Amino acid sequence: MFNKVLIANRGEIAVRVIRACRELGLQTVAVYSDADRNALHVRYADEAYNIGPPPARDSYLRMDKLLEVAKKSGAGAIHPGYGFLAERADFAQACEDEGIAFIGPKPHAIATMGDKARARATVAAAGVPVVPGTEGKENLTDDELLAIAPKIGFPLLIKAVAGGGGKGMREVRSLDEMPAALRAARAEAEAAFGDGNVYLEKLIEGARHIEIQILADKHGNTIHLGERECSIQRRHQKLFEESPSPFVGQDEAFRQKMGAVAVRAAQAVGYISAGTIEFLVDKDKNFYFLEMNTRLQVEHPVTEYVTGVDIVKEQIRIARGRPLSYTQDQITMHGWAMEARINAEDPYNNFMPSIGRIEHMVLPTGPGVRLDTGIYAGLEITPYYDSLISKLIVWGETRGHAIQRMRRALEEYKIVGVRTTIPFHQNLLKQSRFIAGSFDTRFVEERFSMEEADAMRETHPEIAAILATLVAHQETMRAAHIIRRAKRDTSNWKWYARWERIHR
């Protein structure tokens, strides 16, 4: 039984896992690249080991170094978080070979679900509905794919076999577009995953992305924790999640039906640990297996809030060989939870990444607010890693209460130093279609623009005018001062000496 856990990740998820370990009385080992010496996960862990230069391939993706640190520190287990090595069967295998508990599923389950075609074939064989496509046929050439495409029918999606997160994905509306789209998708997949294999899938229009959280232990118990609604996406990246789904709502039979199918899908690969079955759901409540994420999800906190289950602690319990703390009939959903992903991106500039030093922050706090983050005032946001800097999660008795609380929390949340997606969420929560719960996965891209959203809301142009004018006026006054003063100049080192003396 392990008592020390190495967290093979960084950012908010490393902090999340460290917290769970600490609350269970387990020792924690952080790893960090040269860019992350000051990161919160390094500060919060009991031990911290440098594993190389900033690029992930030289540090967070270096299995050899991670295993070396595990051995050196005496860590008996590794939690991979999400991303990086979380869905690498070879890493899970390497841990097993070294006698280190991998806090996640078995290599075979990762490998099966990681290859989208095999995954679909496996769950389809277990009676789980899948989206029509080229599942099960690996390494198809462009010519083969071009021949099959018309049989599936357009529109369709080209997706990377090794993919995830929208990388290597292209939508195609006609055969003419296929050759170029195939080239682009393969190149992107190759660059992102080192594997250019792709497959085709029918595009379900007007679809919602709804997923079921699974927990499975080593004693044959597999349960689900209800659904999450993840249809608010942009370029196939989730931006905002909630649980329950407003589409499922009070339809408990539908929820349990999806849940039971999800449990079957997980059992089809002998799954253990926490995992997620993603479904595409059409307007008639048909649902299709999309893929399984064989790891902890970014959006796991919304499920934790409504069920009261600590998913990360359960993962650790499972890895320690313990049975689940809950049976299926002990799982009930109370109230409503929502998560807004706060990315260091500028929503007014095409979600361009924004880097820089976090100069100042005021965090939203108070009742029903949870924040999962890896940043603090003074930290530098670098260009090397994911732009997710914080997750704002709220709980309310009803969806309406949760929306109101999320609005006030977003209003309170102040970050100075980088641009963030906070204004995006503020606009999203004012959209009548969002409030009504009637949106699909295309909502953000097709029916939403920041500029239009801004224009629709109550505005205060006179207040903006006052603010800008007063600030501009102050700047002008200050500049005038300085020009006057600077007439008598002195050399730089003199100034510096005095400055240091006075300011130390």
Among residues 219, 460, 478, 481, the one that binds other proteins under rule CB under 8 A: 460
Sign (positive/negative) of CA torsion 420, 423, 428, 429?
positive
Identity (one letter) of the amino acid at 412? E
Binding of residue 414 to other proteins (CB under 8 A): yes
Q: Please state the length of the chain.
A: 504
Contact map string, positions 336 to 375, toward a copy of itself, x by CB under 8 A: ------------------------xxxx-xxxxxxxxx--
The answer, yes or no, to whether the previous bond of 301 is cis (omega within 30 of 0) is no
Q: How many Å separate Cα 156 from the centre of its chain?
A: 25
Binding of residue 416 to other proteins (CB under 8 A): yes
Among residues 9, 33, 59, 73, the one that binds other proteins under rule CB under 8 A: 73
* Alpha-carbon gap, residue 87 to 113, rounded angstroms: 9
Give how many residues touch other proteins by CB under 8 A. Answer: 60
Binding of residue 441 to other proteins (CB under 8 A): no
Among residues 125, 147, 260, 352, the one that binds other proteins under rule CB under 8 A: 352
Taking alpha carbons only, the member of 273, 280, 299 closest to residue 87 is 273
Q: What's the burial of 480, exposed, middle or buried (CB within 10 Å: 0-12/13-18/19+)? A: exposed
When the beta carbons of 290 and 393 are compared against a copy of itself, the nearer one is 393
Query: Number of C-alpha atoms within 13 angstroms, CB side, residue 279?
Result: 31
Whether 295 sits among the annotated catalytic residues: the reply is yes
Q: How many Å separate Cα 222 from the centre of its chain?
A: 24
SS3 129: coil
Among residues 112, 245, 303, 427, the one that binds other proteins under rule CB under 8 A: 427
SS3 161: coil
Rounded alpha-carbon distances, angstroms, from residue 193 to 60, 133, 161, 187, 327: 15, 21, 9, 10, 37
Sign (positive/negative) of CA torsion 87, 83, 301, 299?
negative
Binding of residue 42 to other proteins (CB under 8 A): yes
Binder of residue 23, out of other proteins, a copy of itself, none (CB less than 5 to 8 A by kind): a copy of itself
Taking alpha carbons only, the member of 416, 389, 353 closest to residue 40 is 389
312 and 16 Cβ atoms separated by less than 8 Å: yes
128 and 289 Cβ atoms separated by less than 8 Å: yes
Shortest distance (Å) from residue 478 CB to a copy of itself: 6
When the beta carbons of 222 and 426 are compared against other proteins, the nearer one is 426
153 and 208 Cβ atoms separated by less than 8 Å: no
| Annotated catalytic residue, options 10, 170, 295, 370 | 295
Shortest distance (Å) from residue 335 CB to a copy of itself: 8
Contact map string, positions 36 to 55, toward a copy of itself, x by CB under 8 A: ----x---x-----------
When the beta carbons of 122 and 421 are compared against other proteins, the nearer one is 421
Binding of residue 126 to other proteins (CB under 8 A): no
Residues 387-406 that bind other proteins (CB under 8 A): 387
* Alpha-carbon gap, residue 211 to 226, rounded angstroms: 8
When the beta carbons of 329 and 493 are compared against a copy of itself, the nearer one is 493
From 35-43, 224-232, 242-250, 312-320, give the range in contact with other proteins by CB under 8 A. Answer: 35-43
Binding of residue 429 to a copy of itself (CB under 8 A): no
The DSSP line for 165-210 is: TTBT-EEESSGGGHHHHHHHHHHHHHHHHS---EEEEE--TT-EEE
Contact map string, positions 476 to 495, toward a copy of itself, x by CB under 8 A: --xx-xx--xx-xxx-xxxx
Give how many residues touch a copy of itself by CB under 8 A. Answer: 62
When the beta carbons of 355 and 361 are compared against a copy of itself, the nearer one is 361
**Which residues of this protein are in contact with a copy of itself, per CB under 8 A?**
15-16, 19-20, 22-25, 40, 44, 301, 304, 308, 310, 334-335, 360-363, 365-373, 376-378, 396-397, 401, 404-405, 407-408, 411-412, 478-479, 481-482, 485-486, 488-490, 492-502, 504
The binding site for other proteins (CB under 8 A) comprises: 30, 37-38, 42-49, 73, 188, 344-345, 348, 350-355, 359-360, 376-379, 383-387, 410-411, 414, 416, 422-423, 426-427, 450, 454, 457, 459-473, 475
Tell me the catalytic residues.
295
